Every structure is written in structure tokens, then in C-alpha cells.
Chains A and B, each alone.
Chain A
Amino acid sequence: MTDSSAVLVLLTVISAATPLLFAALGELITEKSGVLNLGVEGMMLAGAVAAFAVAVTTGSSTLGVFAGALAGAILAFAFGVLTLTLAANQVATGLALTIFGIGLSALVGAGFVGIAVTPLPKLAIPGVSDLPVIGSLVFGHDALVYLSIVATVAVAWFLKKTRGGMILRAVGESDLSAHSIGYDVIGVRYRAVVFGGAMSGLGGAFLSLAYTPMWAEEMTAGRGWIALALVVFASWRPWRVLFGAYLFGGVTILQLYLQGAGGLDIPSQVMSMLPYLATILVLTVIAAGPWKGRLDAPACLGRPFRPST
């Protein structure tokens, strides 16, 4: 069965959206605990290069995916040590994390430029995956695409329905109150930050193992920052993050198709500006709009906390 081009477009939208979704969901949890980690871009790059290097070296893309998550988590842990244990400024530390991640990934990846890797396998279900339209749209993806959807459901359920989620929200809402009734604010935040890093790492792993699939310096091209913007756009709600990620996936693919179509007399660079301009537009609309979605920001977001004992 050959699919129509519309289906192919939608498939690429899903691919473009998945890394954003991973990174934004991770950042959502981090921010819900009251921590602003601006190092998403750096953690994604670390994840991308670690996943690629391990996949190439061991030949196992599964190990690669784990390595990507682990690399993101390790960087996030370092961020945690600085901002949570040493109470450093979160904005500055996040920037440092991004600069470090860019440098480190370039260093590690220097030997992997131009090498090919087997892309993540598609999970084909015999019979079902061959169905027209539905088959490839719903059943023809690699495991990470499904994982990203499962993660959305899980994050939404965790925040809304579980005690752990309630405690996480409480810590982000008022660190002082949570501390005074006996919650380990720093501990909760460490877990949230490390989870956020692992998710960014997964987003990076998807880029280098499935989306491109290859390694190039700074291959994230600002996706970490767009993921940060998505969290604001989604007013800290998991389902809106999903929507936002697919919207931005759509914009990315749209500009690629317009470039490819060629009929338009617009330089390709101008088309490439689209995702970045769209991010600015979306942030402005959210901030200026009558819906007070931004009021859902966790009250302690970005504030350092160090309990006295």
C-alpha cells in the first residue's frame, strides 16, 4: 500500500514533535517542583551524542536510548548539585549547563561526525501496520514515539491522581510550607530535575537515532529552548504540552515542505526562521491574551531554597 503524501507529511510531523514532547514533559515536571532549568538544550545535546556514540559502538540502539537518558540525567544532576545543594542562581546555572552541553557534546561527538547508524526500528505489527492510512499513522512508529505518548499520559496521571504528584505540586507552590510540614523539598526537587534531564536526554536520543539519524554539532538547533517555551505555552499542563509539541512539529515540517516545494520565491533561510518566529509569536499571544494561563506558573518557580536546620 502506498500512502498519500498527506499521510507522509503527518508522519514527519510526529517525528518532529516527539523530541520536543519529551523535553517539554521533562521540563514541565522540573518546573512544577519549582525549579527552572534553562539547560534543556545542553541536556538534549548530551543525550543525542551519548545515544549516538553508544548505538554506534555497541550496535544496539536500545542501549543508545538508555545512554541518552542517562547522559541527560547526569547533566541534570550536576545542575541539581549547583542550584539545590549550593543554592546557585538557576538562570545562570541553566545557561552554564547549555554552554557546557554544547561543548561536551562537540568534544565527544568529534569522532562520530559523518558516521551512519541504523535508525530505531519501527514497531511493525504484521497485518495491522499495512492497513492504509491508519496502519502507518498509528502503528508504524518506533518505540520512542509511543513512549512519548505514554509519558504524556503518565505525567498527567501522576500530577493529578497520585500523592507523589500532589507533593511535587505542593513543593513548587510553597517550598516553605512544604518544608514546615515535613517534606524533603530538596529531595523532591532533585528527583524532578533528574527526571527532566532524562526526558531531555531521550528527546536528544530520538533526534540522533531516529529523526536525522546522525550526529552533528549543535544538531538540536534551538529545540531545547522551544521546549522551554512550550511549557509556558501549555500553562504547565501535560496535554497542552502534547498539543503544543505537535503544533511546533507541524510548523517545522511546513517550512521544510515549503522549502522543498521551491515554487515560492522566498530564500530557504527565511523559511528556516519560521519555528523561531512562531515561538516568539506564541509566547507573546500567551502573555498578552485574555486567558490568564500564565497564572498557573508554580509560585516558587526559579526561587532558590535552602532550609535552615
Chain B
Amino acid sequence: MQLKIEPRREISRNLLYLTPFLAVLLTVVTGFVLFMLMGYDPFAAIYHFFVSPLLSLYGLSELMVKAAPLIIIGVGLAIGFRANVWNIGAEGQLTIGAIASGAVALAFWGDTGLWVLPLMCIAGVLGGMLYASIPAFLKTRFGVNEILTSLMLTYVATLFLSTLVYGPLKDPAGFNFPQSRMFTDAALLGVVFDGTRMHTGTIFALLIAVAVWVLMTFTIIGFQVRVVGQAPAAARFAGFSRNTIIWFGLLVSGGLAGLAGTFEVAGPIGQLIPVITPGYGFTAIIVAFLGRLHPLGIILSGFLMALSYIGGENAQVEVGLPQAVTGVFQGLLLFFLLASDFLVRYRVRVVRLVTETAS
């Protein structure tokens, strides 16, 4: 008996969409073992991490609050990833988007016009796009690797935000805390359910995912993105411009990250502070992969990763798990997903070994 591994002539569609669930299962099992080794009651830990947040209205609404930015950024990144454009600087683009929209909110502080919020959204999107255009320009003009540039710019963006809230945008009446003034009502997203933080941005997140799905599935633009990613030479053969797609991938993902940043400062946070994201821009990379780069899959994976944030907080309160467990879970999940990809592309068969010496 022997295991024989052979490439599939066609990738398995069923497994492509089933393996994310397998990866989640493996992560939970690993978490179980990990909690046991760390000396926690594994059942309680798993329960407070994955189940109990879903049992209260507050937990569910928080899930929505955290899922919104992950979904918005995730669908944007997925467009780029499909074209082999590796924007991993969404965290930075989110930050710049938040700064741009925050600046608008502060500039019109106290204004009650209905146009303040739309203007903030426009500023946020443009800010994210502008920031993503730096790696896009360097990539298309000089061939500089966008992974490194977009990531370096994330560090720069965080420092820039810090410069502002410690400096020009600091609340004059804020006892010298590094934060801006609280935005006024016209600059804040409405709350969907009273008593929760769930804001209208969540609904936008779902609409955006559906719109991107239509774009990627039914239009020549989505088709071009996929061809450029899978077979660059074929794209050129068909007359599709790779540079246009690189710009498109970076601008759309940057713009959506900027919008997510806008929703954060105009939603749950309500002001500019030194840290406005617990790593949404990076977690959205996992969201995109776990959702198989498919906008509808990303909605599901966005909620799951949102759960990992809330579950982490919850488990910290309930059983004293360190918050860092969330990061380990996220990394493990991506590992298991990438490993399970093997099953999508290869077939593993058990064969009887033919006796080589037939004498």
C-alpha cells in the first residue's frame, strides 16, 4: 500500500468551498489542545471564545460592528489578490482614510448639514486611494514590489496619525490627551438598533460586497482582473493592460480601506485617536483568503474573523485568556487554509504497490 499524489486536471470546486470550513474546524481543535496545554478549561474557553458572544444582542451587534470594516477591506483586497496585486498596506490606507474624513469632520465641527457625512466618505475614499496610488505608481512606473512599499507606508501612516493627534488635531480642551475633539452629530453614522453600536456602515458593507460580486462575476472588468492574475501573457494576448489592472486593484482596495477607516471614526470611535484599528487591515487579508477571494464568501469569513476579536475579548474577561490568542488563531486559520488547498489541487489516492521484482 502506498499513497499516491497526483495533480487534478481540474481543481475541485466542491473542495474549494468546503476546505475553509475544514480549516476553521482544525483551528478550533488546535485551540482546544492549546487551551488545555495552557492550563485553561478547554470547553469553557472554546465556549466563551466561539459561542457565548453569539448569544446576546450586544454580542451580535458588536459582531456587526467589527465585521463591517473586515468585509469592506476584504472584498477590496480580494480584487487585487485575484490580479496578483498584493496590497498588504490596507491598514495604512484605512488610517489615511480615517485622517482625511476626520479632518473633514473637524473642519466642519458643529455644522449640522446633511452633506457632512457624505463629504467625509468621499474624503476617506480619496485618502485611501491617494495613499494606495503610491505603491501603484512605483509598481507600474518602476516595477517596485508593492508588498514592501504598501507595508512600509503603513508604518508611515500610523506615525502620521500620531503626529496629528499629538499636534495640530489635538483637542484644545482635552487635557492634553492625544486625541481630537469628539465629532458632532452630523459627522456620525446613525445607529441601527438603539442601545448598540451597530451603525449604518454595516449595511453598506453588505451592499459593497454584493456590488463587487456583480463586478467580478458578470463584467469584462472582473474578467480582466482574473485573466491578469491567472495568466498575464494571456491577458496581454487579449489586449488587457496589466498596468491598468494594477492601478484598478490598488485604487479600489485603497479606496475601500479608506471608507472602512471613515466608518470607524464616524461610527464606533467618533473622534481621531492614535490607534483606530486593532489590525483590521491585516486581518482582512485572512478574511479575503478564507472567503476564497469571493465577495459572498468574504461576508461569511468577515463575520467569523469578527467573532475571533469579540471572542478573544470575551474569553479574556470570562476565563482570563490572553488577548494575544486572537492573533494566534488568525494565523493558524490561514495556515490550515493554505495547507488544505493542497486537497483542492491534488488528489491523494491509496494504491496497492505493484511488486517490482516479479521474478
B109 within 8 A of A: no
A82 lies within 8 A of B166 (CB): no
A279 within 8 A of B: yes
Contacts of B341 in A (CB 8 A): 86, 88-89
Q: How far is the CB of A1 from chain B (nearest CB, A)?
A: 39
Contacts of B331 in A (CB 8 A): 42, 96-97, 99-104
Contacts of A149 in B (CB 8 A): none
B342 lies within 8 A of A270 (CB): no
From A86, A88, A89, A269, give the contact of B166 (CB < 8 A): A269
B277 within 8 A of A: no
Determine, out of A20-28, A184-192, A281-289, the stretch whose residues face the partner at the interface: A281-289
Do A92 and B324 contact each other (CB < 8 Å), given the known contacts A273-B156, A283-B148, A287-B143? Answer: no
B151 lies within 8 A of A222 (CB): yes
From A91, A97, A229, A272, give the contact of B159 (CB < 8 A): A272
Q: How far is the CB of B28 from chain A (nearest CB, A)?
A: 16
CA distance A96 to B148 in the complex (A): 15
A102 lies within 8 A of B327 (CB): yes
Closest to B322 in A: A110
Do A88 and B86 contact each other (CB < 8 Å), given the known contacts A99-B327, A99-B334, A277-B156? Answer: no
A283 lies within 8 A of B144 (CB): yes
Q: Is the interface of A mostly helix, strand, loop or mixed?
A: helix
B334 lies within 8 A of A96 (CB): yes
B322 lies within 8 A of A104 (CB): no
Q: How far is the CB of A109 from chain B (nearest CB, A)?
A: 8
A221 within 8 A of B: yes
A110 lies within 8 A of B324 (CB): yes
Q: How far is the CB of A188 from chain B (nearest CB, A)?
A: 20
Do A78 and B335 contact each other (CB < 8 Å), given the known contacts A106-B327, A107-B327? Answer: yes
CA distance A306 to B342 in the complex (A): 11
Determine, out of B95-103, B249-257, B282-290, the stretch whose residues face the partner at the interface: B282-290
Tell me how many residues of A have a C-beta within 8 Å of chain B. 47
B324 lies within 8 A of A106 (CB): yes
B322 lies within 8 A of A100 (CB): no
From B88, B145, B151, B328, give the contact of A103 (CB < 8 A): B328
A95 within 8 A of B: yes
A92 lies within 8 A of B338 (CB): yes
CA distance A89 to B346 in the complex (A): 14
Closest to A38 in B: B147
CA distance A276 to B356 in the complex (A): 60
Known contacts A95-B334, A102-B327; 17 further A-B pairs (Cβ under 8 A):
A78-B335, A82-B338, A89-B341, A91-B86, A96-B334, A99-B286, A100-B332, A104-B327, A225-B151, A269-B162, A270-B163, A284-B142, A284-B144, A287-B143, A288-B144, A294-B143, A308-B6
In order of increasing CB-CB distance, the 7 nearest A-B pairs are A103-B327, A100-B331, A106-B324, A96-B334, A107-B324, A103-B328, A86-B342
